[in-house]
Amino acid sequence: MAALKAVHDGKLSLDQKVTIEAKYQDNDSGTFQHMTPGFWITFRDALVQMIIVSDNTCTGTVVDLVGLGEIQRYSEAIGLTGTIHRFGIPPRVAFLSHSVFGSSQRASARRMRAARDLFVARAPQIPCDGEMQGDAALSASVRQGYLPGSTLTGDANLLVLPNLDAANILFNVLKMTGGHGITIGPVLLGTAQPAHVLTPSATVRRVVNMTALAVADLAAT
């Protein structure tokens, strides 16, 4: 969304050429990591690859073009830092990876460490830590057993995943194993007025849940 805003503001163009460089190819997701660097695609195609297939080479390219600072400002403007607070749930954030505090130097692990550092710099008042594995994030006792220096207290309730594939997989696994098939979401952010998306598979329970969420959003504005 920050990328499309940059296009709307005239800072970037969907048709501009984007060079795929080797520095973006050290990752674990997508097909562009296997291609010979130095070729170009349009910014539009980079966005499509990033969103549809979670190609991390294109993700790195897009993030650099838009700028982390610009993405952060846009995120704050649409309420990403305050959404969970509106429901009286103090956020505890964990940045998830196969790596634990630098045990891996793969690109995805380094990206999660960098994300954690950026988050701490931007929102020091919110408890967070990472990168760490999922069991440590969801269990304070597990985390204390082998990560005694962790700055996160309690069980994490906001999980940041390394890519779209991991996030979608975890979302659906948790829905079926811990939520009895019931979810509240997806939560649409960035609209002028509260609005959310219902898929064709939505149950009556989900319709009620999302209506209640929209009402809560409206009451908080």
Tens of pLDDT along the chain (221 residues) come to 778 888 988 999 999 999 999 888 877 677 888 889 899 999 999 988 887 777 888 888 888 888 877 877 776 666 555 555 556 678 889 999 999 888 888 888 888 988 888 888 888 888 889 889 989 998 888 888 888 778 888 888 889 998 888 888 888 888 788 767 677 777 777 677 788 878 777 778 878 888 888 887 777 66
CA–CA dist 200, 40 (Å, integer): 37
Give the number of domains in the chain: 3
Whole-number pLDDT of residue 124: 84
Report if residue 79 sits inside a domain. no
Rounded to 10 deg, the angle between the 107-122 and 56-66 helix axes is 30
CATH classification of the domain holding 114: 3.40.50.10750
- Domain boundary among the residues 53, 74, 95 is at 74
Distance CA 145, CA 106 (A): 25
Name the residue range of residue 199's domain: 182-221
Q: Would you say residue 53 lies in a domain?
A: yes
Residue 199: CB partners within 8 Å, gap ≥ 6?
Answer: none
- Same domain (yes/no): 109, 56: no
pLDDT at 76: 66
